[in-house]
Amino acid sequence: NRNVITIPVVVHVVYKNDDEKISLSRIQEQIDILNEDFRARNSDAQFTPDNFKNIIGDAGIEFRLAIRSPNNEVTNGVTYTLTNEPKFFLKSNNVKYSADGGRDAWDPQNYLNIWVCDLDQYIGYATPPGLGINKTDGVVIRYTAFGKTGATQKGCELGRTATHEIGHWLDLAHIWGDCNGQDECCSSCLDDDGVDDTPIQNRCNQGPIDFNSNVQSCNGVSSLFVNYMDYVDDRTMVMFSKGQGVRMWGTLQFARKQILN
């Protein structure tokens, strides 16, 4: 029986106006959603198609807002930064630098940094674990897709963009394999996500999908379209697999083990 790992989180809100300056209660709501999703305690997990119910995995990972800052001061685990930048960009990572109108990371060896801001083009992105952890490590979520109350991004109203991005941060690939990072919905039955219990899938699924559908994938295999690492709408994604949980747990024992100290 594995223990539960708790990850300290800091949320950096970088805003220009009241809409973008999301409330503390909405931030706690997002943390609560993560704690349901990563423990398979979300009530909609019950809608997983019957043929996949046995692979639903409790990843054994929980999140809590930091209670000490890097200077060891008491904190609520949230920073607010007023900016002049009209938009932030994946390419430049400008939200991660105070000098560029964003906010510097708290030491990513000790915290999961989550930036919330207005993002150009993307609703979220993440840094997978790599060789050496640097100042850009963490996840970025567009303010319209963060939390639930007041989240207006179409298809992303239930706080699952953060679930998906933190999956990437813990080394999960898109369930369809994304053709070695080539992209986005790439269609091939040759590449995979490196996780054994998720079925091979030839491309991403999108939009809302009725839970009763049998979406066919490679070689007539049913697709696990309800997975958090697919591209479906938040209301359709309801589970990690056991294998994905093991992979994320492994990331916390090796590539990201320093965050547990």
Catalytic positions are 165
> Cα separation of 51 and 34, whole Å?
25
Helix and strand numbers (H, E) in the chain are 3, 8
> Cα separation of 78 and 114, whole Å?
9
Contacts 24+ apart (CB under 8 A), 152-159: 153/123, 155/207, 155/208, 155/233, 155/234, 156/123, 156/233, 156/234, 157/234, 157/235, 158/33, 158/234, 158/235, 159/29, 159/30, 159/33, 159/34, 159/234
Residue of 192, 215, 222, 259 that binds Ca ion (CB under 5 A): 192
What does the block give as tokens for 68?
């000490």
Residue of 48, 161, 198, 205 that binds ligand ARG (CB under 6 A): 161
* Residue whose structure tokens are 């963490």: 138
Backbone angles phi, psi at 146, to 5 degrees: -100, 135
In whole angstroms, how close is the CB of 218 to Ca ion at the nearest point?
A: 11
> Cα separation of 128 and 201, whole Å?
21
Contact status: 252 vs ligand ARG (CB under 6 A): no
Contact status: 233 vs ligand ARG (CB under 6 A): yes
Q: From 31-39, 124-132, 161-169, 192-200, give the range in contact with Ca ion by CB under 5 A.
A: 192-200
- Positive or negative torsion for Cα 127, 128, 134, 139: positive
Contact status: 195 vs Ca ion (CB under 5 A): yes
Residue of 20, 37, 118, 234 that binds ligand ARG (CB under 6 A): 234
Q: What is the DSSP letter of 234?
A: T
Contact status: 165 vs ligand ARG (CB under 6 A): yes
If the CB atoms of residues 94 and 161 are measured against ligand ARG, the closer one turns out to be 161
If the CB atoms of residues 83 and 205 are measured against ligand ARG, the closer one turns out to be 205
Contact status: 155 vs ligand ARG (CB under 6 A): yes
Residue 66 interacts with, from ligand ARG, Ca ion, none (CB under 5-8 Å by kind): none
For 181, other C-beta atoms within 10 Å of its C-beta total 12
Size, binding site for ligand ARG by CB under 6 A: 13
Contact status: 156 vs ligand ARG (CB under 6 A): yes
Q: From 19-27, 91-99, 112-120, 194-202, give the range in contact with Ca ion by CB under 5 A.
A: 194-202
Site for ligand ARG in 107-136 (CB under 6 A): 123-125
Residues of this chain that interact with Ca ion (CB under 5 A) are 192-193, 195, 198
Residues of this chain that interact with ligand ARG (CB under 6 A) are 123-125, 155-156, 160-161, 164-165, 231, 233-234, 237
